[in-house]
Amino acid sequence: MAVRGVPRVPYAPIPSSLSPSRVSIGSWFQKREGLAQILAIIAIICGGSYLIWRLLVTSHNVPLWAFAPLFIAELYGYISFLIFVLDSWRLPSSPRLPIYDSTCDVIIPTYNEDIDILEPTIIGALQIRGRTTIWLLDDGNRSEMKALAERYGIKYLTRTSNEHAKAGNINAALPHLTGELLLVLDADHVPAPDFLEATSGYFVNPKVALVQTAHSFRNHNSIMHEEQGRNEQSLFFDVLLPGRNRLKSVFWCGSAAILRRSALMEIGGLATVTVTEDYETSLHLRLKGYLGIYHNEHLIQGLAPDNLTSYVIQRFRWAQGNLQLFRPGMRLPWRKELGVLERVSNTGGLLYYLSPFQKLIYSANLVVVVFFGVLPVGYVGGWFIVFWGIASFTNILAVTALERGTTSPVEGIRNLFLAFEAYFRATSVLWTKAKVPFLVTPKNEVDLGGWASVRQMRFAIVIGAVSLLSVINIWISYISYHFFSWHYLTLHSTSTIVIVSFFGIMEVTIISRSAWSMYHRSQERTLWRFPVSLEARVNGLLSQCVDLHQNGAGIITTEAALRKNSNVRVEIACHDLSGKIVWATGQFRIRSKKRIEGTKETVRAGGRITWDNAESKTAVIMQCYVVEQYVARQHFWLRNERRRVVLLPAHLDGIDANCVDVSTSGASFVASEADWGDRQVGIRIPIAVDSRFFGTAEIRNVTATTGDLVRVGAAVTWQNPFLLKVFSESEKLEQRTRKSMDLGINP
């Protein structure tokens, strides 16, 4: 039952650097990498010229104590920009290599996460194709977790202490593991069925010890999300880490990664000195000569922090752990065994977490200039505006281009202000050796906004207030002098007023809008409802389920269906990975009901569901957490990858056919309807094309064509790389065909 006004927008977990976002200028550069690189070079030249000019021209007649801090802050920004250009310069593709058939232990460490978080992860892990053994590593030693593991037939381990938190939990499990590979999943990270198929091929190289994949997040109403799919981590996972493949500076991000167990054992297990055991362990592997690879596919979906408090806790731990690695006497990211560019790339993390000091220097300069009349530059004439303006404009344009639509410079500043206090407090670990506790990021929380949330931004709000007072006072003094010949502050040049106003108004706008947004956030659900479009029956009458999770749903139905019986029965048509329908049935306790505009009887009912049995609940979890994201991702790649038109003999599951178009991840075939028989959409079958190219096809659609033929569309995992020859041959044929047509010749 289709209902007008209820849009169905499936979310495909894909790199946001490949799909247009609301950052339209950045998205425009997704297919124009060369132009983005040219803009980066221009910005480097302009920024360097500005700094040289500043040093040569504006350093005269100004005290060193006033000149040096601002110049250092600007130099800091320029160096950070250079490292960003290095990381994001080029994004190598991540083709799927032939599958490396090996045993793999899938481990799920947990401490205090509840069953609603862990159960989907376990179900997803059980769907991973390959020779896997699933382990639940319970550091909370909870009986309900042991029962959960027994229910799903997976291994369960616990220990008597919680020493070294997550790292200690995994280290305690290592002696029990036997797989060659080790897939680590956070408790909330639900994997895709093809995780190993996408990533295992890299381990053919014995020097590869780590393959990291992207972190994608299902709760799109989180504090991190800018729009559907795109979030605060998109720049890191979709641009910076792919670019770091070139620099060998990829590191383990704690989850959604495969490690070679023997390499991990060689370095003595996970590192435990810092609270970012993942990054620290990655560096120890690099120092042993092993490689880390980033595979740019979104193969898991997890939970982003729901509210600002959780976000700050997470960022505080990340900042502490990263900065601990740069302590004197440790400094793993700068070890001479690493490459020069690798060490430069590693420095980017250090500079990012030190950025609050740059902001404080800028704010202090506003106060000193406006209220005390001390200029940090010896020249503030028109040429200052020219040099500064050109450097700033080209920098912003280059950053926007290289970010490729994953974020915008303004969003980056906003995110920094949200975590400003956390980063500032974390810097103390650089000069102290006090033990740093491991803080677990809270999950599945509500977000009621209000002052409790705004208080997390108190440092940023103070900076905004200082900036606002500076701008107001400099303009009051300026206007009062020009109209009443009276002033109470030192008179400043037009250039000074323009620069002070620009920085002040920008910061006030960003901080005030962020605080306003945090105050007005209202999210009362602890579980994310997935947007779906599933057939449903309410008290036996046809309806449509439009959002769903394991404890509740939103259903479009009629008043008649709800009046029929006070005990509301619901049936929802879920699917498994083969496409087979599995009916989930239960009791629907309605908590809200709203009439659909423009209709008389149609309503949207929302509420909790008590499922009739465990099978129904499992079917719902499979639909929401595994099937939805898997199908959407496959559809995106099949829709967006260019297909080459061919006409080659093929065999599908033993029947004769013709391959009519092909790509690195899909193909279409034409076969006899009688030969095809009753094979269903969703099945996986062996295929061969032209007796040279072999693979496994997952059937996506079957459509009747002329005569007794059917057209079969499929997602394909090829067993060999020689398929590229078909592309090149096909492209040559297309070029010859176009040339012949242009000349009026029949090809």
Annotate 626-695 with three-state secondary structure.
HHHHHHHHHHHHHHHCCCEEEEEEEEECCEEEEEEEECCCEEEEEEEHHHHCCCCCCCEEEEEECCCEEE
Task: Outline where DSSP puts E strands in 552-625.
Answer: 552-558, 569-575, 581-595, 602-611
Q: Contact 213/145 with Cβ under 8 angstroms?
A: no
Q: Are residues 156 and 267 in the same domain?
A: yes
Instruction: Provide φ and ψ at 641, rounded to 5°.
Output: -85, 135
Q: Are residues 656 and 632 in the same domain?
A: no
| CATH number of the domain where residue 668 is located | 2.40.10.220
Q: Whose CA is closest to 624, among 542, 538, 536, 547?
A: 547
Which residue segment(s) compose the domain that 623 sits in?
530-637
Q: Which of 619, 637, 655 is the last residue of a domain?
A: 637
Q: Are residues 623 and 657 in the same domain?
A: no
The number of domains in the chain is 3
The radius of gyration of the chain from alpha carbons, rounded to an integer in Å, stands at 29
Q: Whose CA is closest to 669, among 678, 660, 656, 681?
A: 660
Q: Rounded to 10 degrees, what is the CA torsion of 219, 221, 224, 228?
A: 80
Hey, is 48 helix, strand or coil?
helix
Q: How many helices (H) and strands (E) does the chain have?
A: 25, 21
Query: pLDDT value at position 207?
Result: 97
Q: Which of 595, 617, 637 is the last residue of a domain?
A: 637
Centre a 10 Å sphere on the Cβ of residue 594 and count the other Cβ atoms it contains: 10
Q: Which of 276, 304, 332 is the last residue of a domain?
A: 304
Residue located via tokens 């504006």 = 58
- How far is 590 from 272, CA to CA, in rounded Å? 49
- How far is 553 from 595, CA to CA, in rounded Å? 16
Instruction: Provide φ and ψ at 215, rounded to 5°.
Output: -100, 120
Give 662's strand partners.
644, 667
Q: Whose CA is closest to 497, among 395, 391, 385?
A: 385
Query: pLDDT value at position 10?
Result: 64
Q: Whose CA is closest to 437, among 426, 447, 445?
A: 426
Q: Contact 280/317 with Cβ under 8 angstroms?
A: no
Q: Contact 138/122 with Cβ under 8 angstroms?
A: no
Query: pLDDT value at position 235?
Result: 97
Residue 158 covered by a domain:
yes
The span from the first CA to the last CA of the chain, in angstroms, equals 49
Sheet holding 181-184, edge to edge: 155-158, 131-138, 103-110, 181-184, 257-260, 208-213, 291-295
Q: Would you report the helix, strand and coil content of the chain in percent, each value rounded to 5? A: 45, 20, 35
Burial of 98 (0-12, 13-18, 19+ CB in 10 A): middle
Residue located via tokens 């200028």 = 25
Query: pLDDT value at position 582?
Result: 93
Contacts with 657 (C-beta within 8 Å, 6 or more apart), sequence order: 649, 650, 651, 669, 670, 671, 672, 675, 712
Residue 290 covered by a domain:
yes
Question: What is the token pair recorded at 265?
Answer: 């054992």
Residue type, 395: N
Residue 126 covered by a domain:
yes
- Between CA 654 and CA 7, with CA 578 as vertex, the angle to 5 degrees is 130
Q: Are residues 631 and 645 in the same domain?
A: no
Residue 10 covered by a domain:
no
Q: Are residues 178 and 271 in the same domain?
A: yes
Integer angstrom CA distances of residue 641 from 242, 249, 359, 395, 667: 19, 29, 43, 32, 11
Query: pLDDT value at position 8?
Result: 47
Burial pattern 162-197, b for ≥16 Cβ within 10 A else e, equals: eebbbbbbbbbbbeebebbbbbbbbbbbbbbbbbbb
| Residue spans of the chain under pLDDT 70 | 1-10, 638-641, 720-747
- How far is 640 from 648, CA to CA, in rounded Å? 23
Q: Are residues 726 and 606 in the same domain?
A: no
Q: Are residues 597 and 669 in the same domain?
A: no
Q: Are residues 728 and 668 in the same domain?
A: yes
Residue 12 covered by a domain:
no
Q: Are residues 606 and 732 in the same domain?
A: no
- How far is 681 from 697, CA to CA, in rounded Å? 11
Residue 149 covered by a domain:
yes
Q: Are residues 555 and 617 in the same domain?
A: yes
| CATH number of the domain where residue 201 is located | 3.90.550.10
Query: pLDDT value at position 382?
Result: 87
Q: Contact 704/714 with Cβ under 8 angstroms?
A: no
Q: Are residues 716 and 668 in the same domain?
A: yes
Q: Contact 86/156 with Cβ under 8 angstroms?
A: no
Q: Contact 694/682 with Cβ under 8 angstroms?
A: no
Q: Whose CA is closest to 108, among 157, 161, 147?
A: 157
Residue 391 covered by a domain:
no
- How far is 529 from 554, CA to CA, in rounded Å? 9
Q: Are residues 141 and 272 in the same domain?
A: yes
Query: pLDDT value at position 639?
Result: 63
For every residue of 227-287, DSSP letters joined together read SSS-BTTHHIIIIIHHHHGGGT-----SSSEEEEHHHHHHTTSS--SSS-HHHHHHHHHHH
Query: pLDDT value at position 486?
Result: 87
Question: Percent of the chain having pLDDT more than 70?
Answer: 94
Residue 326 covered by a domain:
no
